[in-house]
Amino acid sequence: MFDNFLIHTFHDGNCLQAYKIFGAHFETHEGKKGVRFTTYAPNAKSAQVIGEFNDWGKTPCYMERYNNGGIYTIFVEGVKEFDMYKFRFETPQGDIIDKADPYAYFSELRPGTASKVYNMEGYRWHDSKWLKNRTKNYDRPLNIYEASLGSWKMKHESEGEGDEGEYYSYEELIDQIIPYVKKMGYTHLEVMPLTEFPFDGSWGYQATGFYSATSRYGQPKQLMKFIDACHNEGIGVIMDFVPAHFVKDAHGLHMYDGGFVYDYNDYNRRYSPWDSVYFDLGKNEVRSFLLSSVEFFATYYHIDGFRFDAVSNLIYYEGNKNLGENIGAMEWMKRLNGHMSGYHPTVMMIAEDSTDYPGVTKPVGEHGLGFDYKWDLGWMNDTLQYMEKDPIYRKYHHDLITFSFMYAFSENFILPLSHDEVVHGKKSLLDKMPGDDWQRFANLRLLYAYYMIHPGKKLLFMGSEFAQGLEWRYSYGLEWQLLEIEQHSKTKDYVKDLNYLYKEEK
């Protein structure tokens, strides 16, 4: 029934394919067609699967313990694709709780919280040439356009509380964003998290479904088609991934079976400053859960790179050096990067890390963490601080510009002008610039030229290329109407010219 080697590596913290054991899988059992449901719930007194197929538990489907361990499983005849389901547990305290499947491939559209049965097999890819020639871009241009798929353009924008607006689907975006990214001269599209998340305002950084591509934009195979289309136009796809924490929502991973499966047993370690829950990456089963999630997206979605969010919180507890190194999470990162370099040697592993921890992009064998690239947040902070000053005062602060060359070659850096710099009252890049209108645009062009010629790969957040005036708003599309104004359209042309200069000139 199960691959015992996979189960062994799951408990050993080295499993890259835990999704083959857990979740909902189509199966023929004793000549009957149906679905096998399996979950890891070591603290549960009992477990059952509930769903549309048994009237949400009115006809009980109790799961059996596998080998007297923490794994529960059941085969249910007649379950169809897209049927919704959850797991129901009796907790150690005797309570009854319902949970979404941590390994589900697809989820009900929010505000619904059920998992959906989905067949991941059968998509025919057309990107073999792309994959054959793919590298980690050490000796190639790497110029990344960072985007939120939902708010790049919207069919219908939010009209206030209770109205999330209407998004373009994965398939509709093929004809929208891909030609634009290609024409602008970018090499890669980085999408903000696509793992399922309940609250739009978290932008995807507080997830529930670490194997489930968000249903906001369609079905998993539609996302495959979108990535396939990117590859056929010569554009790589990088996905934001959040291994540090997850949401507290009742249907998610928090106190999954009434005990602490994914979270820290220690209350003082458990909760993050974002009102979310930290993964306890000292637990082997949690390590396998997240290792397998990354491998799953690389295998099934042909993702070209992963940008790991909040790595500072994986290096140090709460990202605070004074609280000490997070040894469990550090070991997980080394395992992840070691395994991925072996099994997916051309997939880029990128750390968003604000610490000065040395060796983030050094190989694990050389006492490094094994990432391929690290965001240079020091460069970003210093540069923007410098550019925000009136030019008459800049001569007193040239150290903000020169300091980056003291460490520019100590790691493999990406220079990020990202979404984090144009939200929460920080103003758009254009509005950070001092002076009158003419001076602000001139300063912005100066910033982009400096950014392009400074050592390091490049990343620019959507809208910045045409000098968006407002901060980024997740429930609204970009201000495309600004392109009717000469200063904005010429800024876009200028950025495009810089992109081609970077691609074509050594």
pLDDT by residue (tens digit) across 106-162?
999 999 999 999 999 999 999 999 999 999 999 999 999 999 999 999 988 877 666
Residue 3: per-residue pLDDT? 80
Known catalytic residue: 309? yes
| Over residues 292-312, mean pLDDT | 97
Q: What is the pTM of this model?
A: 0.95
pLDDT above 80 for 466? yes
Q: Radius of gyration of the chain from Cα atoms?
A: 23
Residue-wise burial string across 466-492, b where 16 or more C-beta atoms lie within 10 A, e elsewhere: bbbeebbebbebbbeebeeeeebeebe
Band the pLDDT of 504: cuts 50, 70, 90. Answer: very high
Q: Are 49 and 88 in contact (CB under 8 A)?
A: yes
For residue 162, the model assigns a pLDDT of: 63
pLDDT tens figures, 372-409? 999 999 999 999 999 999 999 999 999 999 999 999 99
Q: Is 493 a catalytic residue?
A: no
pLDDT tens digit sequence for 192-216: 999 999 988 888 899 999 999 999 9
| pLDDT of the residue at 68 | 75
For 321-334, letters b (16+ CB in 10 Å) and e give eeeeebebbbebbb
Q: What is the mean pLDDT of the chain?
A: 95
- Partners of 144 in beta bridges: 188, 459
Phi, psi for 505 (deg, rounded to 5): -115, 125
Angle, helix 4-12 to helix 284-300, in steps of 10 degrees: 120
User: Which residue has better confidence, 202 or 21?
Assistant: 21
Q: Mean pLDDT across the stretch 470-475?
A: 92
User: How far apart are the C-alpha atoms of 376 and 353, rounded to whole Å?
Assistant: 8
Nearest residue to 7 (alpha-carbon basis) of 75, 85, 91, 66: 66
* Per-residue pLDDT, 374: 98
Taking alpha carbons only, the member of 376, 476, 365, 466 closest to residue 416 is 376
- Above 90 in pLDDT, residue 163? no
CA distance 472 to 379: 22
The C-alpha atoms of residue 346 and residue 333 are separated, in whole angstroms, by 17
Catalytic residue among 240, 280, 352, 411: 352
Confidence of residue 462 (pLDDT cuts 50, 70, 90): very high
Higher-confidence residue of 201 and 315: namely 315
Separation between Cα atoms, residue 358 and residue 369, nearest integer Å: 9
Instruction: Measure the CA–CA gap between 327 and 324, rounded to whole angstroms.
Output: 9
Q: Is the pLDDT of residue 449 over 80?
A: yes
Q: How many residues does the chain have?
A: 506
What pLDDT shows up at residue 67? 82
Separation between Cα atoms, residue 244 and residue 336, nearest integer Å: 14
CA atoms of 117 and 477, how far apart (whole Å): 32
Maximum Cα–Cα distance across the chain:
81
- The H-assigned helical ranges of 252-326 are 267-270, 284-300, 312-315
> Which of 83, 190, 295, 309 is an active site residue?
309
For residue 1, is pLDDT > 70?
Answer: no
| Tokens 């050389």 found at | 366
Would the pLDDT of 165 be above 80? no
